[in-house]
Amino acid sequence: MTDSAPLPFPAYFRYRLSRDVGGASAWFARKWRGSTLFKLVALALAILLLVWVAAWAWLARDLPDASTLTEYQTPLPTVVRGIDGEIVHSYARERRVQLQYDDFPEQLKQAYISAEDKTFYSHGGVDFTGTANAVFDYATKYGSGERAVGGSTITQQLAKILLLGDEYSVTRKLKEMILARRIEDVLSKEEILELYLNEIPLGRRSFGVQAAARAYFDEDVGDLELHEAAFLAILPKAPERYGRSQQEQAAVRRRDFVLQQMEENGYITAAERSQAAAQPLGLVQQRRERSVDAGYFLEEVRRQLIEEFGETAEDGENSVYAGGLWVRTSLDPELQEAARDALRTGLMRYHGNRGWTGPIANIDVSEGNWAGQLTSSYLGIRYEDWRVGVVTQRDGSNATIGFSNGEEAPLSGIPSGLEAGHVIAVRPSGNGYAVGNLPEVSGGFLAESVQTGRVLAMQGGFDHRLSDFNRATQAERQPGSTIKPFVYAAGLENGLTPASQVPDQTFCYYQGANLGEKCFRNFGGSSGGVRTMRWGLEQSRNLMTVHIAMEAGMPRVIDTFEKMNIGSYEPYPAFALGAGETTVMQMVNAYAALANHGRLHDPSVIDYVQDRNGNVVWRADKRRCEGCNMAEYDGSPMPRFGLQGKPVLDARTAYQVTHMLEGVVTRGTAVRLRGLELPLFGKTGTTSGPTDAWFVGGSPDIVAGLYIGHDQPRDLGGWVQGGNTAAPVFKQFVESTRDRWKAEPAIAPPGVRMVRIDRRSGKRVFDGVPSDEPNAAVIWEAFKPDTEPDRATRQDQIAARREELLDLIRAGRRGGQQQRTAATEQREDNFVEDRGGIY
């Protein structure tokens, strides 16, 4: 007998398959022919298999692709940071924080595995023992209305959360099992647990354990103690139940059960379990958060972000409410708080004793759900210890006030027009509350960095919870005399100098057949003489301003307004006195350009935006730094950014105007700011009526501006002027942030010559020492080359003295004002614009 050669593997495989399958087929055929019972069993198994295949195909036909989870991005809120890098706000409809697997403490992961899925690391997505228990529980509770236990693994719960939804049915459970098996094929156990701990809903609008740790304990997950981690692990079963105070005992029992499971699983010792079980729940009702009261600023940021990136996930991967953006803003918390308080103080000061101005809103209290209606109104106030509530009942001199938490208290100080259903502001008084008198007048305030155009603070009204209309950016108002510096800039560009003599005399202008002749006058009706350009700006003389505008040409004046981005108007002289409409932001930005040597920025509230991975996807500063990222230093000069801003005004002209505006503070209509003893410049403004009071000004680093007026413009009262109503607001702003204001004066640009002149005549002098005293005879004045004035003569001094005496006589005739001599001439800090400045 000879040995045959071994068969190749393919041939051997076909041989074995033919032999084994053939043998099995023959065996099946014999059984089928010889046994009826075998036939029935085989048919039953075949039918069962077909049903199983059909059911699987039906359930799996529309299931989402589990592989999408490999690229899944958690919908995250947008986090906003201030100028110092600290978080100041987030735009969120849900509380979410995404962490990496290694960021979760081991005890926290062990608590969830013990509570939800102790075989997590051994099963393939489905725990069949747990599923069998769930089926039995479902069968016993069928028809009772009770919800059966889930029996779902962590992988199944993840499938439900991210891919299926929370439908309560057998088919959903079967789909959940299919998806869980698929998820286990595409994700590791660590990836599954990371997604689960980031996505699980845990109550108090929090999703994921980090958000829940902040919501329930005001701590990060890394700071949680054992009993706190165990509490978080009970929340998936009933996220909206266990966090309530009335369910505390049930929560403690469930927490202790989780601790027991952790001990049985070997994660903790009996002593650790006992110590943790002895701890109270320790839930917090309100989180401690850094809170910057900057609603108007933050709403402007939100508006710009939505315009750029969209609002929801459907709008793109970097949307505001799902993209997880990190936004660095220019918000300065210290300046913002000062701006808010200063404007509120100014509004309350004007309101004085005017009394109650009416309800904030009205709601129907007859159906008894007033607390819910008040909550959904989102009205509130953050002023001292005031609150917003609704009058729940009024009976003669008695009334009660109700708050959004359902609390009620007696109300005192009841005005005659108060009725049930009125939503009002109240302040604590005795054992109850008294009606708070909110000012009816409003206004806007904005502060900006001179060198960058970054908006540092913005207050668009008394409180954004009462009205979200932003008067700093949206209210278009007549700026009055605050526009005059730009008329003077046009005059300086047209050959005038700060020492040029300008008539302070009546000016009439024919505006056409329809408008007829318009005659301009100063506030108070005074006029006469010829004065220096500087004096006209310091004293806000309307007639001198119109003369300058007509000499420069109104088209040039309007062009200057447009270049400074103040507004675009018709070339009528009235616009030289502030008759056109603009906003606080535009005026502040234009003044910042004056301080910045004529370079205009686009005002910005956002510095840059990063996506969830830290990549910068938008920035305000578009400048490129050529050579900054070279691989090796090539020995060339260090690369530098170019200058920021667009040059819109001659730097020398801008400085001349700024230098004259310093005189407005030293001896002019804003003299009440002189006591700050800082090198400030600025201009007051008061519009016809008066309907609005303005001030805009600042330092070489910070410029701020504001107006005060009614939303529907009407007379504020004859005594109201920019100097006594708006300037004090700016003064308080500076006083409360004094350490932020430098004592260094503005630096003159190249091409400016500082020359000693006689302040009254504008003539050049060669003797005498210039002084910063308000009434110094000799001052420094800024001139462009070859524009310096001639030397003063004795006759000039006599003429200047004569004009001074005539001014005193005119002032005495107008109001019996106290006479002053040249030697003792001083202005009081409560000086108002008795020399003009009103349009």
Q: List the catalytic residues.
A: 116, 481
Residue 294 structure tokens? 């900057």
- Burial (CB < 10 A; 0-12, 13-18, 19+), residue 756, is middle
CA–centroid distance for 383 within its chain: 18
The span from the CA of 426 to the CA of 424, in Å, is 6
528-540 core/surface letters (b: 16 or more CB in 10 A; e: else): ebebbbbbbbbbb
The span from the CA of 421 to the CA of 597, in Å, is 55
The span from the CA of 80 to the CA of 176, in Å, is 38
- Give kind and range of the element (H or E) at residue 495: none
The span from the CA of 533 to the CA of 416, in Å, is 54
The span from the CA of 451 to the CA of 539, in Å, is 29
Of 669, 670, 658, give the one whose Cα is nearest residue 539: 669
User: What is the number of alpha carbons within 13 Å of residue 734 lying toward its C-beta?
Assistant: 28
The span from the CA of 606 to the CA of 307, in Å, is 13
Question: Any bridge partners for residue 429, and if so which?
Answer: 432
CB 106 within 8 A of CB 221: no
Q: Under DSSP, is residue 606 helix (H, G, I), strand (E, B) or coil?
A: strand
Residue position matching structure tokens 């033919």: 18
**Please, what is the Cα angle at 103 between 99 and 108, to 5 degrees?**
100
- CB atoms inside a 10 Å sphere around CB 660: 26
CB 670 within 8 A of CB 653: no
Residue position matching structure tokens 């041989």: 15
CA–centroid distance for 420 within its chain: 35
The span from the CA of 368 to the CA of 12, in Å, is 87
Of 247, 253, 237, 251, give the one whose Cα is nearest residue 200: 237
- CB atoms inside a 10 Å sphere around CB 671: 24
Residue position matching structure tokens 């996220």: 239
Q: Which DSSP string corresponds to 379-448?
A: ----STT-EEEEEEEEETTEEEEE-TTS-EEEEES--TT--TTEEEEEEEETTEEEE----S-EEEEEEE
The answer for residues whose C-beta is within 8 angstroms of residue 607's C-beta and 6 or more apart is 83, 328, 329, 330, 454, 619, 620, 621
- The backbone torsions φ and ψ at residue 773, rounded to the nearest 5 degrees and listed phi first, read -65, 145
Pure H helices in 494-553: 533-538, 542-552
Q: Tell me which amino acid residue 288 is.
A: R
The answer for residues whose C-beta is within 8 angstroms of residue 664's C-beta and 6 or more apart is 537, 538, 540, 670, 681, 682, 683, 684, 697
Of 695, 649, 724, 664, give the one whose Cα is nearest residue 537: 664
Q: Which DSSP string corresponds to 288-352?
A: -------HHHHHHHHHHHHHHH-SSGGG-TT-TTTB--EEEE---HHHHHHHHHHHHHHHHHHHT
Q: Under DSSP, is residue 20 helix (H, G, I), strand (E, B) or coil?
A: helix
Question: Any bridge partners for residue 389, and if so which?
Answer: 424
CB 561 within 8 A of CB 490: no
